[in-house]
């Protein structure tokens, strides 16, 4: 029995993650100290994933109503790739930690903007309406997560003496950006649950959740990030999940 294209791609994406991951482990826990090797494979994995995602997305006919929404996701991935490329440039070619804030943050911010517009676009396109119980459930989730973020992360950032204004601003922006994206994606997921399309929003939620974990790590190890860090593993997994979501969504519509 031949393996489906979707399964082949999913297995390939697992390898795209595992190769940089094992290289990172070898650098982190062995005498192999070529730290630039991990960022190189990190960028290669992201580049391959992005190319595959764009390739399959371009096969979708533009007359599909959801085309514009997923085009925004592709754009957000492009901005994310550019940002990571700039960030890793310092590690690969200069052997030093990238500056923060830096040029890469312009493109990281653009990623959040386009991802946000994507979710709002689909919420409006699908004309989602929530009954009182669903609104209550969403409100509870919102309050619980926000309080946890406020007490555990946002207030410490505000009170930090190690960060200047822009460092505080960007750290807060990224954490709150993750929070908003997760909440909006969860709202979509509630209405689409059970269908094939829902899986792709699950990937989106997982991707942003991994980014949140990475951003939290970044905040707590601020000033000691180094050339490569455990946070990078979560960032890479997040990127690959987003690219896979684009591919999976594209395959649903190419076959029609």
Q: Which residue has the tokens 């979501």?
A: 245
pLDDT tens for 69-107 read: 889 999 999 999 999 999 999 888 888 888 888 999 999
**Gap between the Cα atoms of 28 and 46, Å rounded:** 21
Give the pLDDT band (50/70/90) at residue 55.
Answer: very high
pLDDT of residue 4: 83
More confident: 149 or 7: 7
**Gap between the Cα atoms of 199 and 191, Å rounded:** 12
Q: Tell me the two tokens of residue 254.
A: 């190419």
Residue 126, classed as helix, strand or coil, is coil
Model's pTM, two decimal places? 0.86
**Gap between the Cα atoms of 40 and 58, Å rounded:** 27
pLDDT of residue 26: 82
Residue-wise burial string across 197-211, b where 16 or more C-beta atoms lie within 10 A, e elsewhere:
beebbbbbbbbbbbb
Residues 45-69, mean pLDDT to the nearest whole number: 90
pLDDT tens for 196-206 read: 666 777 888 78
Q: Is the pLDDT at 1 greater than 60, yes or no?
A: no
Q: Which residue has the tokens 């994606």?
A: 185
pLDDT of residue 226: 62
Q: How many CB atoms lie within 10 A of CB 52?
A: 19
Q: Is 244 left (phi over 0), alpha (psi -120 to 50) or beta?
A: alpha
More confident: 32 or 122: 122
Residue 32, classed as helix, strand or coil, is coil
Closest CA to 242 of 220, 210, 215: 210
Residues 37-62, mean pLDDT to the nearest whole number: 92
Lowest-pLDDT choice from 46-50, 82-86, 140-144, 236-240:
140-144
Following DSSP, what letter does each residue of 187-238 receive, concatenated? Answer: HHHHHHTTSHHHHHHHHHHHHHHHHHHHHHHHHHTTT---SS-HHHHHHHHH
**Gap between the Cα atoms of 6 and 16, Å rounded:** 15
pLDDT tens for 34-44 read: 677 888 999 99
């Amino acid at each position: 029995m031949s393996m489906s294209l979707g399964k082949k791609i999913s297995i390939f994406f697992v390898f795209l993650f595992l190769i940089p991951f094992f290289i990172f482990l070898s650098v982190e826990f062995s005498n192999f100290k070529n730290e630039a090797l991990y960022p190189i494979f990190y960028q290669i994995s992201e580049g391959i994933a992005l190319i595959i995602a764009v390739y399959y997305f371009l096969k979708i006919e533009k007359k599909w109503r959801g085309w514009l929404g997923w085009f925004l996701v592709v754009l957000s991935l492009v901005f994310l790739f550019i940002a990571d490329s700039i960030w890793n440039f310092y590690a690969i070619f200069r052997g030093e930690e990238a500056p923060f804030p830096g040029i890469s943050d312009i493109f990281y911010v653009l990623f959040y903007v386009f991802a946000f517009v994507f979710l709002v676009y689909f919420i409006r396109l699908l004309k989602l309406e929530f009954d009182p119980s669903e609104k209550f459930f969403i409100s509870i989730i919102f309050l619980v997560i926000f309080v946890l973020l406020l007490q555990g992360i946002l207030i410490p950032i505000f009170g930090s003496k190690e960060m200047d204004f822009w460092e505080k601003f960007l750290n807060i922006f990224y954490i709150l950006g993750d929070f908003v994206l997760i909440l909006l994606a969860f709202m979509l997921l509630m209405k689409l649950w059970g269908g094939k399309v829902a899986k792709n929003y699950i990937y989106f939620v997982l991707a942003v959740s991994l980014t949140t974990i990475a951003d939290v790590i970044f905040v707590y190890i601020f000033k000691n990030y180094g050339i490569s860090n455990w946070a990078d593993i979560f960032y890479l997994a997040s990127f690959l999940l987003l690219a896979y979501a684009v591919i999976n969504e594209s395959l649903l519509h190419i076959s029609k």
